[in-house]
Chain A
């Protein structure tokens, strides 16, 4: 059985009155790529930021637990938190053109990360930074290390971000739509790189995306989110071959043949404003309003999550709950 790297328990996030993430549970195993999918505005980035406690203090309340190496990120003292950030857990963002500081060389930004968490000399850190750039396939790293972010293309910048994020061997890398801002070919290269790195460095990746074709190609397991709730969670194969939740079924139905390679682009989720803003007072299943199989009970109570098949296939929909289902389980 593989080891548990991160365990997210009852994570809820309010922005003011709005309940953006509604008590979600999931866990990340050692060395796996876990995809978190859902349409724009469903709360994926909010979850990503919670994992490093990066949400703003003001106007934002976070509840639940984010357990990493036995410690709860949400409650550790500030100095311990900073020891974990960048070292036990790292994050890369959607837009590599704004995520790097424009007035410092990429080398200095990697070196400072290394020196923050490792007790090494500036010289050794610089050598290591060159090795890291080499590892993420930046050509001519000796020369490029002193260049500034604006001197790199979008794909190269994302590689630099990755080099910085993995510099201190984190156990978990959170990748929030890491390829959305990139063109299709670059997208595949970056994902290939991430896949290779997680093998070589035995690291887990939480791959956040709204692009189902990426999920099919790269993820080991998938968590599907809608309106701040988890609808379904399953090993990738199991999810694509036997989706249970009406929302997942609807998503998969919108993708033509699944055999598309990494360049397959049709699996985008439909985007709409309806998924995001949900008031705290709304009870029940968020998807009920759009679901053609919704029953009265769907609107009154938040659906519990059930084990619906072999392995660890779980879904949160009482309507499609198979009669053979096991008792309600916690993931």
Chain B
């Protein structure tokens, strides 16, 4: 028998109470770890989808383009793309031209956003085109092919194979019209995209506006979001000298998504904080109760010659054991649920039928967690620390007892 085993025995003196407390703390820890990992998983998905459909992990713009989308601020991309793909491990580069214009069918007309794209590159990564069958892809040999959002198509009352006229401004500010044919349907489930997007070939877009070889946006997609800082180091020097262009990370290029994630994470944290607060109350309550009911016994120990400091240590040690046990058990539970959510995930298709949009990005209907081991470890350590801090006052009370008074206590 030594102090540790004495502390351990004391902990289990009121078996049921200790078990209930332990279970409550463990479940709360499991819940925080699971929720956190699930949130991280969904953010990862959103960022992945977001960067692939939107701006990429990094985007190259002409200075000033981001602010007012002035179509005049285009830049030549040819040598830049080659340099970038040579310098850095980039999964894919997406050159894009963005134009505002008017789409007219024989029935109706709509204001539209026109995007000139590199079909092969875009189809490989852009989740907006995930549902597009290969036979609906824009063809190189048919520059009049166009992809239209599903709702836009409905509003213009046309179908695949039918004609429409796009009217845009060319580089001199003159209005030019171009006859196109619907090749495929964009079905992204994002309202704004489905009701106003028209995609055409990059070359066609450049030709119409007389900007051959120029683009408005160059999105860089990486294999792995975590490689961003490293990549930034490699490629940012390319943009220092070239004052015409700027390189921005997705957080800057897609502030809506970044804000939505930040907001969601903040509210998540508030919830986790509340859970932690409840745990704290539970721990303090248990420790205080267990000290209060043992005053007589503490009196005996002090009378026998135990020093007050030793008694203080004993009580703190009990708390540390409670906290450690709960942290271990809770982390095991948290790991099990996280493992399930990583491997299987939660299928949201049964709950949400239509709009899978968050911060302007479609997300995967199967919600999956990601492992954030560091955070799990931190939260487990927090539980241990919390238990120790919660024990300080009860332990202090125990150590301050006068042996006679304590022994008279029943």
Do chains A and B stick together as partners? no
